[in-house]
């Protein structure tokens, strides 16, 4: 019989990649989606008829218990969260409800319905914040710098606690930034590649950005979902840093993305002080030695390949939009 997996946050970037990965492995894949007045299934449109979607919400304990009772998955991947750092200053309480307490709601449902379900929590390198050492590993202390980072630290520790208190097979993946053509356009990488495509094709001229000196360890989302799955296939549950070990500035991302299409980034990028954060995470770089040695996990996509992949995808999409406009204008 096919193994059954349940993914919260299946409509997000990682949800789409993980759903594809698990389907390819022969899983029966169920997804939790929250109710909206218009459906938001673009990222999983190509998989839609192979997935079973269920309405539930991280804010609603009973809906999660009912969902898990109905699906009875062997593996549960908790990817749902309010995941955009700037929004966490505007909506700190809602961010805590989704991103922190939401984890406890899912773990409580597992404890009540079936404590043998294997659980993955999407934790974040934002927990390291003003990091005490570089590179960061599983033992580096947390110093989160945003309400989002604080909420993720809670989610991490409650995962550890349910493992230690109840023996639940609960793993926390401490994931550094990972990107793809499916990344939300508000995150800096996709904001840049979308703008590069639009500028190249004459749809836009300027791109406003904040702190160009911030340094991140950027990997490819397709590689990261493989690490999530590997964690749940081990003999015992544990926590793992998932990262490439390479660090680049936002400025370097810009230079590479613009130069790839023959543009000079300095002619188009403007600094907008409103995009600077109340407290910044200046530099992150992960040490994924444990994931490499225990899980056998390795990233397969380099920073340069990632930038080119994202620019190419945005060029193709903007070109298709233009062609669509021309054909509907001509009809």
In terms of CB distance, is 256 or 281 closer to ligand NAP? 281
Pick one of ligand NAP, ligand G4F, none as the site partner of residue 85 (Cβ within 5 to 8 A by kind). ligand G4F
Pick one of ligand G4F, ligand NAP, none as the site partner of residue 13 (Cβ within 5 to 8 A by kind). ligand NAP
- Considering only residues 33 through 62, tell me which ones interact with ligand NAP, judged by CB under 6 A: 34, 36, 40, 57-59
- Nearest CA-CA partner of 126 in 68, 84, 79: 84
**What is the C-alpha to C-alpha distance for residues 158 and 153, in angstroms, rounded to an integer?**
9
| Binding of ligand G4F by 241 (CB under 6 A) | no
**What is the C-alpha to C-alpha distance for residues 194 and 207, in angstroms, rounded to an integer?**
10
| Binding of ligand G4F by 268 (CB under 6 A) | no
| Binding of ligand G4F by 191 (CB under 6 A) | yes
Decide if 124 is catalytic.
yes
In terms of CB distance, is 79 or 318 closer to ligand G4F? 79
Q: Which residues contact 317 (CB under 8 A, 6 or more apart)?
A: 197
| Binding of ligand NAP by 241 (CB under 6 A) | no
Per DSSP bridges, beta strands 4-8 and 28-33 are parallel
The single residue among 29, 79, 214, 313 that binds ligand G4F, judged by CB under 6 A, is 214
Pick one of ligand G4F, ligand NAP, none as the site partner of residue 151 (Cβ within 5 to 8 A by kind). none
| Binding of ligand G4F by 158 (CB under 6 A) | no
In terms of CB distance, is 164 or 267 closer to ligand G4F? 267
The single residue among 27, 77, 98, 169 that binds ligand NAP, judged by CB under 6 A, is 98
| Binding of ligand G4F by 176 (CB under 6 A) | yes
Please compute Rg for the chain using Cα positions.
Answer: 20
21 to 40, 49, 219, 231, 300: CA distances (angstroms): 20, 15, 17, 14, 15
Catalytic residue among 88, 124, 146, 172: 124
| Binding of ligand G4F by 80 (CB under 6 A) | no
**What is the C-alpha to C-alpha distance for residues 178 and 244, in angstroms, rounded to an integer?**
9
Q: Phi and psi of 55, rounded to 5°? A: -85, 130
CB 172 within 8 A of CB 227: no
In terms of CB distance, is 159 or 199 closer to ligand NAP? 159
**What is the C-alpha to C-alpha distance for residues 276 and 209, in angstroms, rounded to an integer?**
8
CB 191 within 8 A of CB 227: no
| Binding of ligand G4F by 198 (CB under 6 A) | no
Pick one of ligand NAP, ligand G4F, none as the site partner of residue 122 (Cβ within 5 to 8 A by kind). ligand NAP
Per DSSP bridges, beta strands 178-179 and 248-249 are unpaired
Decide if 126 is catalytic.
yes
Q: Which two tokens stand for residue 215?
A: 């340094």
| Binding of ligand NAP by 128 (CB under 6 A) | no
The single residue among 177, 180, 193, 247 that binds ligand G4F, judged by CB under 6 A, is 177
Torsion-angle region of 173 (φ positive above 0: left; ψ -120 to 50: alpha; else: beta): beta
In terms of CB distance, is 19 or 281 closer to ligand G4F? 281
How many chain residues bind ligand NAP (CB under 6 A)? 25
CB 147 within 8 A of CB 183: no
**What is the C-alpha to C-alpha distance for residues 141 and 113, in angstroms, rounded to an integer?**
33
Give the interface with ligand G4F as residue ranges (CB under 6 A): 83, 85, 124-126, 176-177, 186-189, 191, 209-211, 214, 216, 250, 275, 277, 280-281, 284
């Amino acid at each position: 019989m096919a193994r059954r997996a349940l993914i919260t946050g299946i409509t997000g970037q990682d949800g789409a990649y993980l759903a594809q990965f698990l389907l390819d492995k022969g899983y029966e894949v169920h997804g939790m989606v929250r109710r909206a007045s218009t459906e938001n299934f673009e990222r999983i449109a190509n998989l839609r008829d192979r997935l079973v979607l269920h309405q539930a919400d991280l804010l609603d304990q009973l809906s999660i218990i009912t969902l898990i009772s109905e699906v009875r998955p062997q593996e549960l991947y908790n990817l749902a969260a309010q995941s955009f750092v700037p929004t966490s200053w505007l909506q700190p309480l809602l961010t805590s409800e989704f991103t922190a307490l939401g984890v406890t709601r899912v773990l409580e449902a597992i404890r009540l319905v079936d404590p043998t379900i294997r659980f993955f929590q999407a934790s974040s390198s934002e927990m390291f914040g003003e990091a005490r050492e570089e590179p960061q590993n599983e033992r580096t202390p947390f110093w989160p710098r945003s309400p989002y980072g604080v909420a993720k630290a809670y989610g991490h520790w409650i995962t550890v606690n349910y493992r230690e208190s109840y023996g639940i097979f609960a793993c926390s993946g401490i994931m550094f930034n990972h990107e793809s053509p499916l990344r939300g356009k508000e995150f800096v990488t996709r904001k840049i590649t979308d703008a590069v495509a639009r500028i190249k094709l004459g749809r836009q001229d300027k791109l406003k950005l904040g702190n160009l000196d911030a340094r991140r360890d950027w990997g490819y989302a397709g590689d990261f979902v493989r690490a999530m799955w590997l964690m749940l296939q081990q003999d015992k549950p544990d926590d793992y840093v998932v990262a490439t070990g390479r660090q680049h500035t936002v400025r370097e991302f810009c230079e590479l993305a613009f130069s790839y299409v023959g543009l000079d980034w300095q002619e188009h990028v403007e600094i907008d002080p409103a995009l600077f954060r109340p407290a910044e995470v200046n530099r992150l770089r992960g040490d994924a030695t444990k994931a490499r040695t225990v899980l056998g996990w390795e990233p397969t996509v380099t920073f340069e390949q990632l930038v080119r992949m994202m620019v190419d995808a945005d060029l193709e999409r903007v070109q298709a939009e233009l062609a669509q406009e021309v054909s509907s204008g001509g009809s």
